[in-house]
Amino acid sequence: MAVIEARGLAKTYGGKPAVSDLSFEVHPGSVTGFLGPNGAGKSTTMRLMLGLDRGAGTTTFDGVPFTSLHHPMRHVGALLEAKPFHPTRRARNHLRMLAAANAIPVSRVDEVLEQLGLASVARGKPRTFSLGMGQRLGLAAALLGDPHTLILDEPANGLDPQGIQWIRELLKSFAASGRSVFVSSHLLSEMALMADELVVIGRGRLIASGPIGDFVKSSRHNSVLARSPQATELAEALRGRGAQVEALEPGLLSVTGLDAAAIGDVAFDASIRLHELAPRTATLEEAFLEATEASQEYHAVVAPVGDDPGAPPPAGAATDSSTTARYGEDQQ
């Protein structure tokens, strides 16, 4: 049962750190989501874990580095880039070659082709494949050795909604059988549905790791809506107990820093009538945006819709008349 231990991973490109002193663990029986803004260092980390990039630090799979594993595909299945195959080698032959190199029975090739919905194009050449079909072939290769660990970089990239749902169920059942999944994705709603644990990075450094529930609970977007005909008095009493209170509309408060039970008690003690108490849990997206706010490398600047198309663009904005987003490095 593979515990992945990454210790002190680091990599610089041209003197600029891409990953810095990054350590985390991935536990069997769980899907661990790997999150970070664009350029945070997720792909670099995954390559370092598999010894595909030179850098500092170690990663072990049940105590063994990937490069020391005998027949690695039978231990760790990886999908790190879209279309990791020769464009003209037929899909089935590509998998047969990988199977032979890793002492995997050839019967497994047809099994994974079937499992990934690629049986009908087994004799097709990958250069004719769509992005999603290429991604399925990459996943077929990752699953070929029936490994106990999966490391997947954006596996849902290019998949249609059925494909995305399918991969979610696949990864959940893979983990439920006691195996380990480490998966990056920008699809936070998907991540919220499938991940048990998270590793969150920004600018190559660890921001948070642990159960997804704890990460979401730590967000300041967790709040309680309190409706009262005595909202002003209630707000004052709650502030006196250290809560942050925002008046959303007459008679309706958004409260953070106290849970619903505590708010009810404060109201009771002050003889304030309450008409409604509704806890609101932060979304993973809210918690993620909050946690990575300070470590976003690329910011999009979006001009408001309806801007005068003839007006000069704001300083630093894209000049292409059809494009309103700019990706630029900030100066932090």
**Which residues contact ligand ATP (rule: CB under 6 A)?**
13, 18, 36, 38-44
- CB of 208 vs ligand ATP, minimal distance in Å: 15
- CB of 43 vs ligand ATP, minimal distance in Å: 3
Closest CB to ligand ATP among residues 187, 277: 187
Closest CB to ligand ATP among residues 43, 219: 43
Pairing of strands 180-184, 197-202: unpaired
Tell me the CA distances in angstroms from 329 to 10, 23, 35, 290, one per residue in order: 21, 26, 20, 19
- CB of 247 vs ligand ATP, minimal distance in Å: 39
Task: Please enumerate in sequence order all residues whose Cβ is within 8 A of that of 269, keeping only pairs 6 or more positions apart, or say none.
Answer: 237
Evaluate whether 141 touches 85 at the Cβ level (below 8 Å). yes
- CB of 10 vs ligand ATP, minimal distance in Å: 12
Q: Characterize 205-239 residue by residue with b for buried, 16 or more Cβ atoms within 10 angstroms of its Cβ, and e for exposed.
A: ebbbbeebeebbeebeebbbbbbbebbeebbebbe
Determine the Cα–Cα distance for residues 255 and 305; give it in Å rounded to an integer. 33
Q: Characterize 140-149 residue by residue with b for buried, 16 or more Cβ atoms within 10 angstroms of its Cβ, and e for exposed.
A: bbbbbbebbb
Closest CB to ligand ATP among residues 184, 228: 184
- CB of 148 vs ligand ATP, minimal distance in Å: 24
Strand partners, 76: 149
- CB of 94 vs ligand ATP, minimal distance in Å: 24
Nearest to 37 by CA among 306, 317, 304, 300: 300
- CB of 69 vs ligand ATP, minimal distance in Å: 23
Closest CB to ligand ATP among residues 47, 94: 47
Integer Rg of the chain from CA: 25
Closest CB to ligand ATP among residues 156, 267: 156
Pairing of strands 31-35, 197-202: parallel
Closest CB to ligand ATP among residues 33, 41: 41
Sign of torsion, CA 209 198 46 38?
Answer: negative
Closest CB to ligand ATP among residues 30, 43: 43
